[in-house]
Amino acid sequence: MSAESRLQELGLTLPEGPTPVASYVNCVRSGNLLFLSGGLPARDGQLITGKVPDTISPEEANEAARLSILNRLAVIRQEVGSLDKVRRIVNLQGFVNSAPDFFDHPKVINGASDLLLQIFGEAGKHSRLALGAAALPLNAAVEISLIVEVE
Shortest CB 136 distance to a second copy, Å: 5
Shortest CB 48 distance to a second copy, Å: 14
Report the DSSP beta bridge partners of residue 149.
Answer: 33, 88
How many other CB atoms are found less than 10 A from the CB of residue 98? 24
Report how far apart the first and last C-alpha atoms of the chain are (Å, whole number): 17
**77-136 positions binding a second copy, by CB under 8 A:** 88-93, 95, 98-106, 110, 113-114, 116-117, 124-136
Shortest CB 96 distance to a second copy, Å: 8
**1-20 positions binding a second copy, by CB under 8 A:** none
Contacts of 21 (CB under 8 A, 6+ apart): none
Binding-site size for a second copy (CB under 8 A) equals 58
Stretch that binds a second copy, among 7-15, 33-41, 63-71 (CB under 8 A): 33-41
Among 5, 38, 84, 141, the residue binding a second copy under the rule CB under 8 A is: 38
**What region does 26 belong to: left with phi over 0, alpha with psi -120 to 50, or beta?**
alpha
* Rounded Cα–Cα distance for residues 69 and 112 (Å): 6
Assess 41 for contact with a second copy (CB under 8 A): no
**What region does 44 belong to: left with phi over 0, alpha with psi -120 to 50, or beta?**
left
Assess 28 for contact with a second copy (CB under 8 A): yes
Angle (deg, nearest 10), helices 105-120 and 58-80? 40
Residue ranges binding a second copy (CB under 8 A): 21-28, 30-33, 35-38, 51, 88-93, 95, 98-106, 110, 113-114, 116-117, 124-139, 143, 145, 147, 149
